Amino acid sequence: MHAPLSGVVTTFNNAATLARCLDSLAFCDEIVVLDSGSDDATLEIAQARNARIHAQPFAGYGPQKQAAIDLASHDWILLLDADEFLDDGAAQGIVRELEAPRADGYRLERQEWLFWRWPHRCTRGNRQLRLFRKSMGGMNAVPVHAAPEVRGRVIDLPVLFRHYGEPDLATRVEKINRYSSGLLEHTRGKRKSFIGLRLLVYPSLAFLKLYVGKRYFLNGWAGFFAARTQAFYAFLKYAKVMEAQRR
């Protein structure tokens, strides 16, 4: 018998991807969906899968997810975005682990959709804390990229989930621009040291980290586009800070 588990998802107009997300969470003892005003078929999709649906205005990336976590009935939380889903076999791995948990939180491997393809099997994914006990932690206060944090033991679990990333370059660039502006608002008034050096060095390091370090070169032009746009994101983050300082 495994520990009771709540699947938790926040939504806003996610009709295109939500069905696959919730279907992958069907093994959970409950599914909690917190919506922030969808006007497409999102709620109908959640209702058809017997999710517990709640609604509130969007409170920010971290606070919205924390509100959804707080609505869950069980201590163990499996947190997914509405454009993510568990890979085949992931449910069995999670259930086996929760029969005798070895930790208070688990990092799962996430693979990103690269514009028109899934990554090569030898491409290294990112590990993210998504399975955890809410009594031992919750969302941090980092802007834009808020993530769960746990007071206790955290280990890797050999379970894969997939993320439907941006479908085209235009959408990716729009998101990069929005996120970098959000980070600027958070750091406004705070002095950034060595900003010029960071601006010169970090974009190239970001490209090499993905393209070489995580083997994105195995994914052809899709991998090159992904690594190059990540470098552009690194550039925008520091360029906007420098621009604000000089104004």
Domain assignments of the chain as residue spans, ordered by start: 5-163, 169-246
In the chain, what is the greatest distance between 2 CA atoms, to the nearest angstrom? 61
Quick one: 5-163 is in which CATH superfamily? Spore Coat Polysaccharide Biosynthesis Protein SpsA; Chain A (3.90.550.10)
Residues 6+ apart with CB under 8 A from 220: none
What tokens appear for 175 in the block? 């998101």
Residue among 5, 7, 1, 3 nearest 161 (CA): 7
Q: What is the pLDDT at residue 97?
A: 98
Q: What is the DSSP letter of 116?
A: T
Low-confidence residues of the chain: pLDDT under 70: 185-193
Output the DSSP codes for 128-174.
EEEEEEGGGEEE---SSS--EEESS-EEEEEEEEEE---SSHHHHHH
Instruction: Report which residue type is found at 107.
Output: R
Q: What is the pLDDT at residue 145?
A: 79
Taking the model in full, what pTM does it have?
A: 0.89
Tell me the per-residue pLDDT of 129-140, one tens digit each, with 9 for 90 and over: 999 999 999 999
Tell me the per-residue pLDDT of 83-119, one tens digit each, with 9 for 90 and over: 999 999 999 999 999 999 999 999 999 999 999 999 9
Place of tokens 């085949």: 88
